[in-house]
Chain A
Amino acid sequence: MSETGFIATCRLVAGKDLHLEWRTWDTSTSSLVFSLVVLVIFNFAFDLATVRELGVGRLVPGVLWSVIAFAAVIGMTRSFQLEQRHETLSALLLSPCDRSAIFFGKFVANLVKILTLELILVPLTAVLFDYDLLAVLWRMAGLLLLHTIGLTALGTLFAAIAVRVGRGEALLATLLFPASTPLFISAVKTTGVLLGTESTTSVADWLTLTAGFDLLYVFLALLTFEVVVER
């Protein structure tokens, strides 16, 4: 398969997923409403007085990344459950194209969906927990993108596995959260630095670790996806 074929397939698969999402708002609504509920619960757990006492940087990163992680799990499971329910995955697999390209297409679609979700969630945490998002906007965007790539790569592959064995979100969370511990630690640490409580010395180390994690897992997932969907 030539390289244009790979990219063309990715665009087709990602385009199909995103188009479907655009028409139905099926996954986004459920993950968005779910994350709102979780955010509200966190607000009860840590009210504004506690937040001010602890400092925004100590609390918000943890809340933000927990919400993103839970919402991402819902979205990624859904993207394979839909395929499974309508037997469309078999159709995709029958088409004469590279299976890693199918994976990459799904990965890109999931990435776009989760980043869109973050676009709503992050400003919302700024409002609910009262911190100045505009001051750190671009660095925050960079952090979110870097950490979401690894989370989505690993999550898309594990979602395919979880749905393949007939389990949904619970199994995906069980597989994904332990495996992505380094990502979460890094995400919480670096977001904490951005919001001004942690010292800034080790940020470069964390970002290097995350970039390495992203590359390794995108590569490994591309390599192994074919085995997951094999009939």
Chain B
Amino acid sequence: MVDPVPVNHRSGFWFWPLWTLTTAGMAVAIGLVFLYVPDERVMGAVQRIFYFHVPAAIVAFFGVFLLLAGSIGYLWTRDRRWDHLALASTEVALLFCTIVLVTGPLWAKPAWGVWWTWEAKITTTLILWLLLLGCLMVRRYAESREVGARLASIVGIFSAADVYIIYKATVWWRGQHPVVFAPDKAGGLAPKMMHAFLTCMPVFFLLFALLIFVRYRLACLEDRAEAVLDRALEN
């Protein structure tokens, strides 16, 4: 018999403030990107994708850190809540990876003349996308939630440990991604562009936090529903 996972109802309190902040932030960010920022001299309007593409990429890789933390935490403590975190970060990181992989080619076609190139950062993101999908597949195929959680944690740890090595390998293999922030130059962005970018970054982190929060709560509820069902079947 599975013990019902207690849902902390007070945690629902954080949903609306987070939602409001994210929505307002996103409205401001979209306004800045489309109304405030000037057209880029060479690339034109399409460069505006940058303000969503780069934050989404950074947030996706941040999600992988959370996945690593959740996976190790779960295997260490066997506390379901760590697994909920791992599941939430897998799915949300997958979502942001998808955004990166869709916005990248949209920008690359006008800017580079090709939809896709096997460049280091793009390749790493694609492989990360596949790895995250693998985590979810293992979880889905397993005979029980518990086994799925365990096996997905292992795949999660391996995937997260892999990301940097994959990046290193693909950089050595080939590279031509635009570097906007070179450490030696004092920022390659015009001030207005920098404002928009610095607004988009925290807004994407807010969106990420909101999605993780919602998915985490949902996983708690799923566990609880399953526990209730188990109890009903037992009686």
Identify the A interface with B (CB < 8 A).
154, 157-158, 161, 164-167, 171, 174-175, 178-179, 181-182, 185-186, 189, 202, 205-206, 209, 212-213, 216-217, 220, 224, 227-228, 230
The interface residues of chain B lying within 8 Å CB-to-CB of A213 are 165
State whether the Cβ of B194 lies closer than 8 Å to any Cβ in chain A.
no
Q: Are A179 and B172 in contact (CB under 8 A)?
A: no
Q: How far is the CB of B106 from chain A (nearest CB, A)?
A: 24
A and B contact pairs by CB, cutoff 8 A, 21 listed: A161-B138, A161-B154, A164-B147, A164-B151, A165-B143, A165-B151, A175-B138, A179-B131, A179-B134, A179-B158, A179-B159, A181-B127, A185-B169, A185-B170, A185-B173, A209-B169, A217-B158, A224-B75, A228-B151, A228-B154, A230-B150
Question: Could you tell me the distance between the alpha carbons of A164 and B166 in the complex, rounded to whole angstroms?
Answer: 27
**6 A-B pairs with least C-beta separation:** A182-B169, A165-B141, A178-B130, A175-B134, A178-B127, A165-B142
Interchain CA distance A64-B155 in the complex, whole Å: 27
> Considering only CB atoms, which chain B residue lies closest to A206 in the complex?
B172
Complex interface: chain B residues within 8 A of A158 (CB): 155
Residues of B within 8 A of A186 (CB): 169
Instruction: Answer yes or no: B168 CB below 8 A from chain A CBs.
Output: yes
B-side contacts of A224, CB under 8 Å: 75, 154, 157
Asked if B150 and A227 make an inter-chain contact with CB atoms under 8 angstroms apart, the answer reads yes
- Find chain A residues with CB under 8 A from B127 CB: 178, 181
Within 8 Å CB of A181, what residues of B? 123, 127, 162, 166, 169-170
- State the Cβ distance, A226 to closest chain B Cβ, in Å: 10
* Inter-chain contact B169/A174, CB cutoff 8 Å: no
Q: Is B28 an interface residue (CB 8 A)?
A: no
| Distance between Cα atoms of A227 and B123 in the complex (Å) | 31
- Chain B residues in 8 Å Cβ range of A205: 172
Q: Which residues of B contact A174 (CB under 8 A)?
A: 130, 133-134, 137
Chain B residues with Cβ below 8 Å from A206 are 172
Residues of B within 8 A of A217 (CB): 158
Listed residue (B75, B131, B137, B169) with the most chain A CB atoms within 10 angstroms of its CB: B169
CB distance from A139 to the nearest CB of B (A): 20
Q: Which single member of B75, B155, B166, B170 contacts A175 (CB below 8 Å)? A: B155
Given contacts A178-B131, A179-B131, A205-B172, contact A220 B161 (CB under 8 A): yes
Instruction: For B168, give its contact among A166, A179, A209 (CB under 8 Å).
Output: A209
Q: Which of B133-189 contact A (CB under 8 A)?
A: 133-134, 137-138, 141-143, 147-148, 150-151, 153-155, 157-159, 161-162, 165-166, 168-170, 172-173
Cβ–Cβ < 8 Å partners of B170 in chain A: 181, 185
Q: How large is the interface on B (under 10, 10 to 19, 20 to 34, 35 or more residues)?
A: 20 to 34
**The one of B133, B143, B162, B166 that contacts A166, using a Cβ cutoff of 8 Å:** B143
Q: Are B138 and A182 in touch, CB under 8 angstroms?
A: no
Please determine whether A161 and B157 come into contact, CB atoms closer than 8 angstroms: no
Contacts of B157 in A (CB 8 A): 220, 224
Cα A43 to Cα B159 in complex, Å, equals 34
In-complex Cβ contact of B137 among A171, A212, A228 (8 A)? A171
In the docked arrangement, what's the CA distance between A227 and B173, Å? 35
**Among the interface residues A157, A175, A217, A230, which one has the most CB atoms of the partner chain B within 10 A?**
A175
B154 x A227 contact (CB < 8 A): yes
Question: Which chain A residue has the least Cβ–Cβ distance from B126?
Answer: A178
Q: Which residues from A are CB-within-8-Å of B151?
A: 161, 164-165, 228
Nearest-neighbour CB distance to chain B for A110, whole angstroms, equals 17
Q: Is the CB of A166 within 8 A of B172?
A: no
Shortest A192–chain B CB gap in Å is 12
**B151: nearest residue on chain A (CB-CB)?**
A161
In the bound complex, residues from chain B placing their C-beta under 8 Å from that of A171 are: 134, 137-138, 141
A48 to B234, CA, bound (A): 68
Instruction: Enumerate chain A residues within 8 angstroms of B158, measured Cβ to Cβ.
Output: 154, 157, 179, 217, 220
Please measure, in the bound complex, the distance between the C-alpha atom of A228 and the C-alpha atom of B155, giving whole angstroms: 10
What residue of chain B has the Cβ atom nearest to residue A221's Cβ? Answer: B158
Complex contact A202–B162 (CB within 8 A)? no
Q: Are B138 and A189 in contact (CB under 8 A)?
A: no
| A112 to B: closest C-beta gap in Å | 24
Q: Is the CB of A161 within 8 A of B168?
A: no
Please name all residues of chain A whose beta carbon is closer than 8 Å to the beta carbon of B159 when the two chains form the complex. Answer: 179
Chain A hits for B75, CB < 8 A: 224, 227
